[in-house]
Structure 1
Amino acid sequence: MPIVHGWGRYPVVEAEIRSPVDPPGIAAAVKSRARPVIPRGMGRSYGDSALSDQIIDCCGLNGVSAFDFEAGLIRCGAGVTLSDLLTHSVPKGWFLPVTPGTKFVTIAGAIASDVHGKNHHLEGCFSEFVESFDLMLAGNEILTCSRHQHVDLFHATVGGMGLTGIILEATLRLKPISSTVVEQITFKARNLQEALHLFDAHEASAYSVAWIDCMVTGPAMGRALLMLGEHSEFGGLSLPDKRRISVPFDVPTQTLNRFSIKAFNWLYYHRIRQARSSQRVDCESFFYPLDGIHGWNRLYGKRGFLQYQFVVPKHAGLEGLTALLKQIVESRRGSFLAVLKLLGRANQNLLSFPIEGYTLSVDFKLEDGLFELLNELDAVVLDYGGRIYLAKDARMKEATFKRSYPRWMQFQEVRSRYGALATFSSRQAQRIGLD
């Protein structure tokens, strides 16, 4: 059987994979299962949320069935990627109102993870712009779910990590743009407190995101580069034609160590000379900087890596982030890729990740002692009223999940109501007590 893993390349499982190309094929795959199945798209969730003994690959559902160019409404198959969608929509003057940091995810994956982007503080999650979707249930019945039809199933499926059924098709509402250029302003923050002050001072900016240095101690701890963005009126609607570079092999594990990371972070921070600078950049560079590097997950070596993303409430932002950063710095396991964002209010979806506050995502190469550190960080996140993002998780304990996602029982009740409990499951679901 094929070997399968998520983007972090941990864990690795053997799985039976079926790849139907239409709803009847999906129905046959569900009906003939020997064990619970999980739908899967591009495999860009980091851990084990799309891993199971039996997997249904939904990338074949990749057609665009309708596009209202006047209203910006597009109806497409679950396997359509954000990249595919942008190819259709941008030349017509429409962009994704919410997008994660990669365009190589499917529409169904974006819904199942209820992804967020650099504008959550203003626009919320991806689900805010999902008009409806068709969901195949355990018994092959297909229901149209929206905020007006099968509302309970809508709020359980969005953010539900594929555990309620299989999304077949969705209708999305897009955002009008005049150009693919982004007006970017970069601020240089000397420490964490200054970075959070800048987030608050520029809360009205359409997009905001910060790279943060997780290797510095003392008064400079949490120094950061904050990037703000606004869609430009200039530049036209042509998508940039960029060549992707490739990482052709697994980088030796010893190459990525605290000395190389510290050196990289120093150079990256000091490449910006001014306290404030502005430039025009293309949308690919602003929204999807890592998509230009094919196979960048190989930079962490053969064992893979874990991305640890958490959120702490805004009222505890400085104190909570300081405590967590201190532990990360003292562990000497810092990362060259650490991203801080401001999140807005929580939504009604039962397992959606964002709450009003600050979210930090940090990449750690997989090595001895890492799980112990992350368990310690979990305890601090919980103490401050935060939670871990399911789409990035590969090792969270059941007690941690159930304490931080208080509507999990309601989620299970919806799954039970529609017959999903014995039909759809993943390694993650089993690990956190949703089997």
Structure 2
Amino acid sequence: MAADTRTTPTTEADDPFVSVTGWGRTAPSTAFRWRPRTHEQAAAAVREWGARGGIARGLGRAYGDAAQNAGGCVLDMTGLDRIHSVDVAGGTVVCDAGVSLHRLMEVLLPLGWFVPVSPGTRYITVGGAIGAAVHGKNHHVSGAFTRHVSAFDLLLPDGSVRTVTPGTELFDATAGGMGLTGVVLTAVIRLHRVETSYMLVDTERATDLDEALARLAADAERHRYSVAWIDLLARGRSTGRSVITRGDHAPLAALPARARRAPLAFRPGTLPAAPVVVPPGLLNRATVGLFNEFWYRTSPRAGTGRLQRLTTFFHPLDGVPHWNRVYGRDGFVQYQFVVGHGQEETLRRIVRRIARRGCPSFLAVLKRFGEGDPGWLSFPVPGWTLALDIPAGLSGLGAFLDELDEEVVGAGGRIYLAKDSRLRPEVLAAMYPRLDDFRALRARTGADRVFTSDLSRRLSL
């Protein structure tokens, strides 16, 4: 079983000056790390961390620079990882913000409950899930993670703590606010009831992007979870060919007899870790093209009702520790955007441009978003989102992505801040219409002088 990633917390680490980076490993910076054991120690850190301010950091799975603070402080929240209570009858949990989704699954699945929303990794903290307003394969029916948060305790710039509830400005600014309004300390989360730790999965191939969009839109409410892997190197009539996966939590009756003996067991598998040193240029158009061809051709044309372990369905990459190393020393850029319904032609144009450019992306996923969430900087809006990984060393990448940003802005779309590492500040306001409100709240509460990050400085948040 994959171990929960934790640290032994102390108020100050043995070597408090550390180099930190996002999961994409593109822009490391050095900061002073605090490791609080208690909420009181976290408050003391906020009051003491100086002119460069600080930012809360969980398990480091933001892809860019959201949880970095060059020359300032980072508050390592992984030591605050207690689960305070579980209401087994009502389906709620009260926990510290440093608790990982992995740990919640370990505790909650045997009780018949699952987290309401899970992104592509379970190695994120509850505080990170709130700060990034993470979404999953079920956004079209369940919305973002923050929609299922009943309340959280927020450490404010002056060191005081306030209980924040939905429908308030502070809640909406914090949900998706990238940790820039305060430090989430504890949260109350509503859960989803399940009978087993298995999924019933349907898989089918789509020959091009239009077919993928049509199939994802058809009967969208029939499945709780849906996603499409998309081949971004395919061109011509095959542009946007995809493998669509839909799933629902398997009922007890769907399990074979041997699995019914422990239907709620949480048994994630683990493969060998990615090597520390990877040859430069390993992921190129040729190697990724071979992988994409293999993946598409070996996927079922139409397969239904296949049983799959929950962790395999939601978090396949978590089984490979340090998988981000495969991109080599330069790291990778994760680019995710959303455009609304009615802007499908923009999506088609971007997919064609990526294919012509030959961006070697093998982790490209397409999802359909449902109703938007109230967070001022929350990413999802009703429409289509495409996420892709690109080796950071690709020639001309920055200018190419700037051009895609213009396409996204022109369609009224936006870029996901939790994955961003290179967006230009001048296009941000067009993407997030509540940006001025967010900045005003930060100024009014004094958060702009206390909670800072490399992301906030780069984008003038």
Structure-2-length-normalised TM-score: 0.92
Aligned pair partner of 1:214 in 222, 227, 232: 232
- Counterpart CA distance in 2 for 1:259 and 1:277 is 32
- Report the CA distance between 1:16 and its aligned residue: 1.0
Q: 2:245 matched to which residue of 1?
A: 227
Name the SS for the 1:184 alignment partner.
strand
Q: Which amino acid aligns with 2:177?
A: G
Q: How many equivalent pairs are there?
A: 431
1:82 matched to which residue of 2?
101
Aligned to 1:183: 200
Q: Paired residue for 1:326, among 325, 331, 352? A: 352
Q: Hey, what does 1:24 align to over in structure 2?
A: 40
Give how far 1:331 is off: 1.2
**Is the 8 Å Cα contact of residues 204 and 300 (structure 2) preserved in structure 1?**
no
Give 1:305 deviation, angstroms. Answer: 0.4
Q: Secondary structure at the match of 2:442?
A: helix
Once the two structures are superposed, the pairs formed by residues 369-384 of structure 1 within 5 Å of their partners are: 369-384=396-411
Q: Which residue of 2 aligns with 1:302?
A: 329
Q: Deviations over 1:147-172 (max 9, x none)?
A: 26xx1111101100000001110010
Q: Which amino acid in the other structure matches residue 428 of structure 1?
A: L
CA distance in 1 between counterparts of 2:189 and 2:384 reads 27
Any conservation in 1 of the 2:225–2:247 contact (CA below 8 Å)?
Answer: yes
Q: Does 1:131 align with 2:158?
A: no
Q: Contact 1:188 / 1:276 at 8 angstroms: preserved in 2?
A: no
- Partners of 2:298 and 2:115 in 1: how far apart? 31
Opposite residue 321 of structure 2, the aligned amino acid is H
| Pair 1:316 & 2:343 matched | yes
2:138 maps to 1:119: yes
Corresponding residue SS for 2:84: strand
Equivalent residue of 2:433, what SS?
A: coil
1:55-111 deviation line (CA, Å, top 9, x unaligned): 111111100111111101100001000001111100000001111110000000000
| Residue in structure 2 matched with residue 366 of structure 1 by the alignment | 392
For residues 146-165 of structure 1, the aligned pairs below 5 Å read: 146-147=165-166, 151-165=168-182
Give the distance between the partners of 2:282 and 2:330, measured in 1 at CA.
13
| Unaligned runs of at least 5 residues, structure 2 | 1-16, 256-262
Q: Deviations over 1:298-337 (max 9, x none)?
A: 01001100100000111112x1111101111111113011
What is the aligned partner in structure 2 of residue 265 from structure 1? 292
Shift of 1:419: 1.6
Once the two structures are TM-superposed, the CA of residue 277 in structure 1 deviates from its matched residue by 4.3
Are the aligned partners of 2:178 and 2:418 in contact in 1 as well (CA < 8 Å)? Answer: yes
Does the 8 Å CA contact 2:65/2:455 hold for their aligned counterparts?
Answer: yes
Q: Partner amino acid for 2:109?
A: V
Task: Give the conservation status (yes or no) of the 8 Å contact 2:202–2:302.
Answer: no
Deviations, residues 364-423 of structure 1 (Å, cap 9, x unaligned): 001131111110110111111110000000000101111100100111122222220100
| Distance in 2 (alpha carbons) for counterparts of 1:16 and 1:241 | 34
Q: Offset of 1:278 from its aligned partner?
A: 3.9
Cα distance in 2 between the residues matched to 1:241 and 1:50: 27
- 1:45-60 equivalences in 2 (<5 Å): 45-52=62-69, 53-60=72-79
Which of 355, 362, 368 is matched with 1:342 structurally?
368
Which residue does 1:387 correspond to in 2? 414
C-alpha contact 1:250 1:300 (8 A) present in aligned 2: no
Percent identical: 40
- Asked if the contact 1:189–1:275 (Cα under 8 Å) also holds between the matched residues in 2, the reply is no
Looking at structure 2, the residues matched to 237 and 278 of structure 1 have their Cα atoms a distance apart, in angstroms, of: 19
Letter in 2 for 1:250: V
Task: Work out the CA distance in 2 between the residues paired with 1:383 and 1:252.
Answer: 39
Asked if 1:250 corresponds to 2:305, the answer is no
Aligned ranges for residues 197-208 of structure 1 at < 5 Å? 197-204=214-221, 205-208=223-226
Aligned-pair distance for 1:248? 2.3
Native 8 Å contact 1:313 1:355 kept in 2: yes
Aligned to 1:429: 456
Q: Aligned residue for 2:116?
A: 97
Q: Distance in 2 between matches of 1:93 and 1:273?
A: 31
* Displacement after TM superposition at 1:33 (Å): 1.1
Give distance in 1, aligned partners of 2:40 and 2:186: 13
SS in 1 for 2:79: coil
1:253 match: secondary structure: coil
Q: Is the CA contact 2:275–2:326 (under 8 Å) kept in the aligned structure 1? A: no
Structure 1: tracts of 5 or more residues without a match? none
**Structure-2 separation of matches of 1:350 and 1:272:** 39
RMSD: 1.1
